[in-house]
Amino acid sequence: TKGLIELCAKYTVARMLERDDFSKRFREGIPIYIHEFIYPLLQAYDSVAIEADVEIGGTDQKFNLLIGRDIQREYGQEPQVCITLPLLVGLDGTRKMSKSYGNYVGITEEPKTMFAKIMSIPDEIMWDWYLLLTDHTKEEIEKMKKDTHPMEAKKNLAHTIVKRFHSEEEAKQAKEWWEKTFSQREFPEDAPVVELSESKVKAVDFLVKIGAVKSKNEARRIIQGGGLKVNGEKITNPNEDILIDGEVRVKVGKKKFYRVVNKDTLRR
């Protein structure tokens, strides 16, 4: 407690209000909570604790990084050098990539999943991804914008990124799989097989049982939004019965595929 009070005494509210977000909210009478002031101070103290020479962060962290320099001075340390990097916009095309937003590509994800996610990004942010995630120069990217169809450019981007985290061969296979599945509309034969004991299940329960979603509410949203296809037929009624006779081919959203079979059918 004593250490926290000492830390808080080394920075002023006036300095905190120099941050655009805080000053705007203060002028408009929008509440600013105490913990919002304490967070950048604690982050700054990290630099004191490890005696940081350099701290790297996104452009959105510039204010916090600079507080780190001020707090280091207060503790008698040489202030760190701050390096900021542009933010990578996520799959939704609007917010920064973040696991908490669900708009991310995980570096340990399967090659096919990674490839499909990258192919889903809006065309307009693709060029920033090229700049931040590949070795292409600005000149090469500008030439690509003029000479290459956006679809081909995006496939090349996806291939480059998958290759970096997996291998050339896996990137090639992921591209071929994507083209068959999404471009040529073929159902992937390597889709996971799910066995159910029931021969008839309501659509809203069906998605939960095959593991496509975690809750009925999520299942209902997907179905009503037109995101469920069974044997190529779109299902939009959450209470519609799904008949499981033989193998049922299921597509959920744009990227999930399942081959669902009835256990009793397998025993025949």
Q: Calculate mean pLDDT across residues 229-246.
A: 91
Q: Which residues contact 260 (CB under 8 A, 6 or more apart)?
A: 193, 194, 195, 196, 210, 244, 247, 248, 249, 250
Report pLDDT for 64.
96
Sequence ranges of the chain with CATH classification 3.10.290.10: 193-262
Report pLDDT for 107.
96
In which residue are the tokens 């996971």 written? 192
Q: Check pLDDT > 90 for residue 73.
A: yes
Sequence ranges of the chain with CATH classification 3.40.50.620: 1-85
- Short-list 79, 22, 19, 91, CA closest to 52: 79
Structure tokens belonging to residue 252: 């959920």
Report pLDDT for 247.
86
Report pLDDT for 180.
84
Distance CA 87, CA 56 (A): 12
Indicate the pLDDT class of residue 246, thresholds 50, 70 and 90: confident
Distance CA 248, CA 239 (A): 18
User: Burial level of 114, CB count in 10 A (0-12/13-18/19+)?
Assistant: buried
Is the CB of residue 143 less than 8 Å from the CB of residue 219?
no
> 254-264: per-residue pLDDT in tens?
888 999 998 77
Q: Check pLDDT > 70 for residue 268.
A: no
Q: How far is it between the farthest Cα atoms of the chain? A: 79
Q: How far is CA 12 from CA 2, 17, 36, 86, 237, in A?
A: 17, 9, 13, 29, 58
Indicate the pLDDT class of residue 150, thresholds 50, 70 and 90: very high
Indicate the pLDDT class of residue 187, thresholds 50, 70 and 90: confident
Torsion sign, CA atoms 183, 189, 192, 198: positive
> 19-48: per-residue pLDDT in tens?
999 999 999 999 999 999 999 999 999 999
Indicate the pLDDT class of residue 155, thresholds 50, 70 and 90: very high
Q: Calculate mean pLDDT across residues 62-72.
A: 97
Q: How far is CA 5 from CA 9, 41, 67, in A?
A: 6, 11, 17
Q: How far is CA 178 from CA 52, 175, 190, 234, 258, in A?
A: 45, 5, 12, 21, 16
Q: Calculate mean pLDDT across residues 47-59.
A: 97
Q: Check pLDDT > 70 for residue 235.
A: yes
Helix (H, G, I), strand (E, B) or coil at 106: coil
* Helix, strand, coil percentages in the chain from 3-state DSSP, rounded to 5: 50, 15, 35
Q: Check pLDDT > 80 for residue 189.
A: no
Q: Calculate mean pLDDT across residues 149-177.
A: 96
How large a percentage of the chain has pLDDT more than 90? 83
Is the CB of residue 162 less than 8 Å from the CB of residue 174?
yes
Architecture of domain 193-262: Roll (3.10)
Decide if domain 1-85 falls under CATH 3.30.720.210.
no
Q: Check pLDDT > 70 for residue 184.
A: no
pTM (predicted TM-score): 0.65
Report pLDDT for 265.
59
User: Burial level of 47, CB count in 10 A (0-12/13-18/19+)?
Assistant: buried
For 99-186, the fitting CATH number among 3.40.50.2030, 3.40.50.720, 1.10.240.10, 3.40.50.300 is 1.10.240.10
Sequence ranges of the chain with CATH classification 1.10.240.10: 99-186
Is the CB of residue 192 less than 8 Å from the CB of residue 210?
no
